[in-house]
Structure 1
């Protein structure tokens, strides 16, 4: 065991990491329960555990670390690659700051520890767009200030204890800094995790861990569902994107449905700062952290994950893209209007279609579908409410690409009960939905009807025409703003300067595998004559194909086409 002395060496730091991992693992559920921000089912303890475990695994795999600098660098790299949630990203950046402050150190003396914590706080503040008081950031800043207050003659044990004591005081204060914490009567979950790690550091340099008697809660907090799931979805104690909060004011939040994380390489500081600015306009809880080797980790909470990914593509090469839905339907369900909770009728089957555009809505309604409009991005609670409002014991849902497969599974699980069977059919576009609905027969057995409709949707190849809004990397090269894009399914397969040329090329590619019928759904932004010019192209080059054109009025695609 490391004994108190004048310096903290590599073995001591290694022991800190290993004991810290054990301590976070032991108190993970306790940290999870405290996490009521931004929603009361978080998993900050799990996120911290995964991040620390990744750091320790990297340390062990890196071989024998000879110096304190070696250990801290290995921990920082491991935490960076395995960070989960905003709290994990902040911890990784904290370790990166400590490593950078001690880049050539054989060991750490008292001044070195203080310097490492100070640099850690600076780097974390730099990584976050709007750091807020009352979070893990506040606790880290207090720890750094506490360590720096000691003058000449202080020992590593003195500095470690001063930092941990200051962190504990700051943690206790968090309940008064954020309204959501005050309302729940809890301290910040991420701040508790950091304090635990600092107390473990005290144990390493003194041989004894502080015995804290903190008031973590002032009222009972129900257990969280995600506490027993190590790989649960990753929403946690993220700082608010709120200028008032950054100065100790009241925090307000816009509900964000998704957490987006990815790595960016092949970039530079200027482009990454531009990316941060762009992400600030798309959502909140923005964090951009570097690994010290020209790779950055990006984190944001937003409503449109695709836009966050596209913003990253403009900054460099992306990898390890992770998009997690917060699944707020469970929270929303408790507040649903009773009119949407009515018991369905004793007989009958309904088809519910998610539709964008007036013309498309009329088409689906004419075929007997119940239509839910998605002229704004569809949400999990919105689709769940629509399904519950359908007065039928059997509901076949045509999502038409409105939500991801993962989110549809979540909606289905919440929508099914003893009185209603819900089945989602694989329609990823409105043209597939129309093909599926065309073969619907309410007189057939449910399983037979669903099978027939599924087969019709699955065998309909589809594509779309759009205008590129930003520079982006695609399978067929890099597009620039204003380029005409042809997509086969979700993939860009055509980039042209002319929209008609893009449409003609897209049709040729999709029809290369054959087809007898092309259905065109014209969007509200399509230029006059687009459908006519593409029909003329089909007449000239694919005379055997029948063409049907509808004015859908959708805003997302200039043209959607299906081939059967």
Structure 2
């Protein structure tokens, strides 16, 4: 709950109050901001993305305060201003959603870069003004191709207004008020700067959210609550600028977001690579951790570029077909959400129209992560493919959450990614929900699955004793073959699986498996089973060395 309005000095408690008030303000305005979201993609989620980003930042800040358990009257129990702003910015970075949330995360990082240093000799007002200026500068630098009339414009205007007051030795509250007023004035001008906004008769959605955040900052420092203002929407006729900026027409089909552990030099090369793949590129962060956001037609290539640069994780791929329907106020009738163990598989399923959740080795996706994926699918009916026996409990919990929100959800008990691929292949979004679920369940159940793994130690298995380094062939979850190499073990596994018949073999190669192995196994299958077809995919990072499906 937001703190009671009361003035604060520029300290850790002020940051905590700011965070609480900003989250509340974005919560109140979320649906209205979603409704005016027309640029760069009319996907009606800017308010939601800003709220979720602020929520992640607030959780991180709460953790810095000891989950609220610390006695705030004891100064030694509270974090310093530096610790608070850095926690706030870090929480936004790791939880940033969408274009607007990613930019907000970088704005908060810019504030933290200045306030976190706690330089001596400057009063709170000038210091805050400098922080807002740094925030705007870093946000502009993070966006590959800045466009005026957007959230960036509003941030720049806020910084200039705050700097004018800060240079005159104003208080921190004075600077925050000036920044808030400057942002509001700039927001009102955005429809004349961007043709998409002018045609729709709306202000920029991201800028609208930033005004709410700056209003919360002023309230935290002054104790005065900003007047509630309606979100400026289509009821207001706005004149067009003579030469408005260009905007996306149609645009790429996918949004790709991931966290990335990488060096700054590697991120520089990544920016160039992603800029050639798509648009709406925003890369924020620093100190080895980055949040990457881009719109592309080839999501697999965007993720692979991250693999080249460093270690990507928390990968989210969203198809804009459903997002654009949401921007028109429509909800898709049916969608598929798939949990997959590899970026390549995530891209493959996304291209088939599924919303994906990446599962990493040894980790079980949280029910909240799956519930968020169901929300992003934005459909009345959702088919959930958990992709592994260990993930079914989380899938069931997420399904219950979604049902409470009025979404009809069916969980198909897939135990392997290849069963999920088989289910996706027969998915019929135009048929009845029950018939679609039955067909997908039957396809998954008719697919035998196998996985090749390397033994880490000597142990007893259902196929005998294995030694460290042996290749294990697991069929339907049980060790069936122990071999000395991938090719030999894969041949033995295929022979056993095809012994009971089959029409199609699916091979999913791990990141370090050469293409030559796939070619060898395809020839092996064709030689012994002329009527059996073979398809091969790349699983990408986190995928097992080899997955095999037989239908």
The TM-score normalised by the length of structure 1 is: 0.60
Could you say which residue in structure 2 is the equivalent of 1:252?
Answer: 248
Could you say which residue in structure 1 is the equivalent of 2:47?
Answer: 45
Whole-Å Cα distance in 2 between the matches of residues 332 and 201 of structure 1?
31
Could you say which residue in structure 1 is the equivalent of 2:494?
Answer: 510
Any idea what SS the aligned residue of 1:171 has? helix
Any idea what SS the aligned residue of 1:217 has? coil
Give the counterpart of 1:137 among 123, 129, 152. Answer: 152
Give the counterpart of 2:317 among 319, 323, 339. Answer: 323
How far has the Cα of 1:546 moved from its partner?
A: 3.4
- Is the contact made by 1:139 and 1:170 (CA closer than 8 Å) also made in structure 2? yes
- CA deviation vs aligned residue, 1:451-473 (integer Å, no higher than 9, x gap): 6996466434589xxxxxxxxxx
The TM-score normalised by the length of structure 2 is: 0.62
How far has the Cα of 1:149 moved from its partner?
A: 2.4
Q: List aligned pairs for 1:139-538, cutoff 5 A.
A: 139-150=154-165, 151-211=167-227, 216-219=232-235, 249-265=245-261, 267-290=262-285, 292-328=286-322, 331=325, 455=442, 458-461=445-448, 506-513=490-497, 515-517=499-501, 519=503, 537=524
Any idea what SS the aligned residue of 1:149 has? helix
Decide whether aligned partners of structure 1 residues 27 and 155 sit closer, same or farther in structure 2, where only a CA change above 3 A counts: same
- Is the contact made by 1:10 and 1:68 (CA closer than 8 Å) also made in structure 2? yes
Any idea what SS the aligned residue of 2:259 has? strand
- CA deviation vs aligned residue, 1:285-343 (integer Å, no higher than 9, x gap): 222111x4411111122233222222211111222122233343874999xxxxxxxxx
How far has the Cα of 1:262 moved from its partner?
A: 1.4
Whole-Å Cα distance in 1 between the matches of residues 25 and 181 of structure 2?
18
Whole-Å Cα distance in 2 between the matches of residues 330 and 75 of structure 1?
31
Whole-Å Cα distance in 2 between the matches of residues 133 and 283 of structure 1?
19
- Is the contact made by 1:51 and 1:84 (CA closer than 8 Å) also made in structure 2? yes
Decide whether aligned partners of structure 1 residues 289 and 533 sit closer, same or farther in structure 2, where only a CA change above 3 A counts: closer
- Is the contact made by 1:146 and 1:166 (CA closer than 8 Å) also made in structure 2? yes
Q: Which moved more, 1:185-194 or 1:276-285?
A: 276-285
Whole-Å Cα distance in 1 between the matches of residues 64 and 504 of structure 2?
57
Whole-Å Cα distance in 2 between the matches of residues 196 and 325 of structure 1?
29
Whole-Å Cα distance in 1 between the matches of residues 81 and 505 of structure 2?
64
1:117 aligns with 2:117: no
Whole-Å Cα distance in 2 between the matches of residues 449 and 167 of structure 1?
50
How far has the Cα of 1:91 moved from its partner?
A: 1.1
Decide whether aligned partners of structure 1 residues 47 and 509 sit closer, same or farther in structure 2, where only a CA change above 3 A counts: same
Could you say which residue in structure 2 is the equivalent of 1:88?
Answer: 101
Any idea what SS the aligned residue of 2:214 has? helix
Any idea what SS the aligned residue of 2:531 has? strand
Any idea what SS the aligned residue of 1:298 has? strand
Could you say which residue in structure 1 is the equivalent of 2:366?
Answer: none
Decide whether aligned partners of structure 1 residues 425 and 39 sit closer, same or farther in structure 2, where only a CA change above 3 A counts: farther
Could you say which residue in structure 1 is the equivalent of 2:462?
Answer: none
- CA deviation vs aligned residue, 1:237-282 (integer Å, no higher than 9, x gap): xxxxxxxx9x9622233433332221112x2111112222222222
Superposition CA RMSD, Å: 5.2
Decide whether aligned partners of structure 1 residues 261 and 531 sit closer, same or farther in structure 2, where only a CA change above 3 A counts: closer
Could you say which residue in structure 2 is the equivalent of 1:76?
Answer: 89
How far has the Cα of 1:158 moved from its partner?
A: 2.8
Whole-Å Cα distance in 1 between the matches of residues 453 and 140 of structure 2?
37
How far has the Cα of 1:99 moved from its partner?
A: 0.7
- Is the contact made by 1:147 and 1:162 (CA closer than 8 Å) also made in structure 2? yes
Task: Look at both structures and tell me which one has the larger radius of gyration over its CA atoms.
Answer: 1
- Is the contact made by 1:172 and 1:215 (CA closer than 8 Å) also made in structure 2? no
How far has the Cα of 1:205 moved from its partner?
A: 2.8
Any idea what SS the aligned residue of 1:321 has? strand
- Is the contact made by 1:519 and 1:561 (CA closer than 8 Å) also made in structure 2? no
- Is the contact made by 1:55 and 1:76 (CA closer than 8 Å) also made in structure 2? yes
Decide whether aligned partners of structure 1 residues 80 and 533 sit closer, same or farther in structure 2, where only a CA change above 3 A counts: closer
- Is the contact made by 2:322 and 2:377 (CA closer than 8 Å) also made in structure 1? no
How many residues are matched?
420
- CA deviation vs aligned residue, 1:461-515 (integer Å, no higher than 9, x gap): 589xxxxxxxxxx988xxxxxxxxxxx99xxxxxxxxxxx998875444335453
How far has the Cα of 1:429 moved from its partner?
A: 9.5
Decide whether aligned partners of structure 1 residues 333 and 17 sit closer, same or farther in structure 2, where only a CA change above 3 A counts: closer
How far has the Cα of 1:284 moved from its partner?
A: 1.9
Structure 1 unaligned segments of length 5 or more: list them.
222-244, 335-373, 381-403, 415-423, 437-445, 464-473, 477-487, 490-500, 523-529
